[in-house]
Amino acid sequence: MTPGLRARCTVLFADLRGSTGLYERLGNAAAALLVTKTVQSLASAGVGTQGRVVKTLGDGLMALFPSSQAGVDAALRMQAVISRGLDSGGTGPSMTNRSSGLRLHVALEHGEVVELGDDIYGDAVNVAARLLDHSGDQEILVTHHVLEHLDETSRRMFRSLDAIVLRGREQPVNVYACAGTPRRDGPETCFESWEDSSEPDGIRLWNHTGELVLGLRTLPALLGRGAQAQFLVDDASTSRSHAQLEWRGQSLLITDLSSNGTHVRFSDGELVTLRRSSCVLHGRGQIGLGRLPEPGGSATVDFELIRFAQTRPVP
């Protein structure tokens, strides 16, 4: 890209989370070496033959690609680096990424950018950077502008999180999430939010204190520790009105309303972290209100989307 020239490109931001605890456990020198080695490995995996790293950002990096497909392929390679752990050979620490607690967050946007000096500017840069705040562990977030330029196989790896309002922007952005698992073959379109094309009748919620079944017609409903909540969660980390469930556009959404955030772990292990944002619920899983979900946790709510004709006792 010629300096000063405007061009349509795909911008990728990647960020490592969990380094603070790493410094505490390993000490400054060893932790800094591991983080640096990890970022270098991410950069090497991400650049490939088409992209380039614009700059590193402490625990992360910013990269530029000529196409959305090249950007998403790079993000998937970065995920693979973290999933398999660093090579323990050479001069780096022997601790793998998985055991170190480092977690990768990635966000991409496609649009017009301009290169000035050694940096890249433009609305696509701003959107990708702010979208990164909404990503979960080992999650890739993209906008509609990225998704529409992917091949069919890649598009089927993403599910809709609906429209999210990003910090500093008035208009919401349509966002899609990928945890690296292709969606199953079937009649659904690549922009469809559900993994199962059959529409549920409602949602079952339960924790160590009780159970509640909500039909779609009874939504919206609040989860929290206040008297106004339909499902009460008594934990200091949970806000009075912590999260809201609603049926919108043929999707059952959970929206974080809190200060501490909401975490959704699906039955396949995918974890989505919400901070004043939304995601689509599907299948079964756990919701953590202010804390990561854990079995029997006081801030954890189990959920299951149900059809009333097929309801079964809570296990």
Q: Are residues 209 and 173 in the same domain?
A: no
Pick the last residue of a domain from 143, 178, 213: 178
Q: Are residues 27 and 135 in the same domain?
A: yes
Q: Are residues 122 and 79 in the same domain?
A: yes
Question: Residue 206 class from Cβ within 10 Å (0-12 exposed, 13-18 middle, 19+ buried)?
Answer: middle
pLDDT of res. 242: 96
Q: What is the mean pLDDT of residues 291-311?
A: 86
What is the tens place of the pLDDT at every residue in 71-108? 999 999 888 888 776 443 333 344 444 445 677 889 99
CATH of the domain at 169: 3.30.70.1230
Token digits of residue 250: 């043929």
pLDDT of res. 37: 85
In a domain, 34, yes or no: yes
In a domain, 112, yes or no: yes
Weakest-pLDDT range from 19-23, 56-60, 120-124:
19-23
What is the tens place of the pLDDT at every residue in 263-297? 999 988 888 888 888 888 888 999 999 999 999 99
Q: Are residues 167 and 293 in the same domain?
A: no
In a domain, 194, yes or no: no
Weakest-pLDDT range from 50-64, 157-171, 230-244, 293-307:
157-171
pLDDT of res. 302: 96
pLDDT of res. 109: 97
The pair phi, psi for residue 79, each rounded to 5°, is -60, -40
Pick the last residue of a domain from 163, 178, 193: 178
Q: Are residues 118 and 78 in the same domain?
A: yes
Cβ proximity of 86 and 37 under 8 Å: yes
Q: Are residues 39 and 161 in the same domain?
A: yes
In whole angstroms, how far apart are CA 185 and each of 69, 107, 200, 283, 306? Answer: 20, 25, 20, 17, 22
Q: Are residues 209 and 287 in the same domain?
A: yes
What is the tens place of the pLDDT at every residue in 112-155? 999 888 888 999 999 999 998 888 777 899 999 999 999 988 88
Q: Are residues 42 and 111 in the same domain?
A: yes
pLDDT of res. 85: 66
User: Which comes out higher in pLDDT, residue 236 or 43?
Assistant: 236
What single string gives the DSSP state of each residue in the chain? --TT-EEEEEEEEEEEE-HHHHHHHH-HHHHHHHHHHHHHHHHHHHHTTT-EEEEE-SSEEEEEESSHHHHHHHHHHHHHHHHH-----TTS-S--HHHHT-EEEEEEEEEEEEEETTEEESHHHHHHHHHGGG--TTEEEEEHHHHTTS-HHHHTT-EEEEEEPPTT-SS-EEEEEE-S-PPPSSS--TT---SSSSPPSEEEEEETTEEEEEEGGG--EEEESSTT-SEE---TTS-TT-EEEEEETTEEEEEE-SSS-EEEEETTS-EEEESS-EEE--SEEEEEESS---TT-TTEEEEEEE-GGG-----
* Position 231 confidence tier, pLDDT thresholds 50, 70, 90: very high
Maximum CA extent, the chain: 63
Measure the CA–CA gap between 256 and 130, rounded to whole angstroms. 17
Q: Are residues 66 and 206 in the same domain?
A: no
Q: Are residues 33 and 166 in the same domain?
A: yes
Pick the last residue of a domain from 146, 178, 210: 178
Weakest-pLDDT range from 121-135, 156-170, 218-232:
156-170
Average pLDDT, the chain: 81
Q: Are residues 161 and 247 in the same domain?
A: no
Question: One-letter amino acid identity for 305?
Answer: L
CATH of the domain at 288: 2.60.200.20
Q: How many domains does the chain have?
A: 2
For residue 186, pLDDT over 80 is answered with: no
Q: Are residues 173 and 207 in the same domain?
A: no
For residue 90, what are the domain limits? 6-178
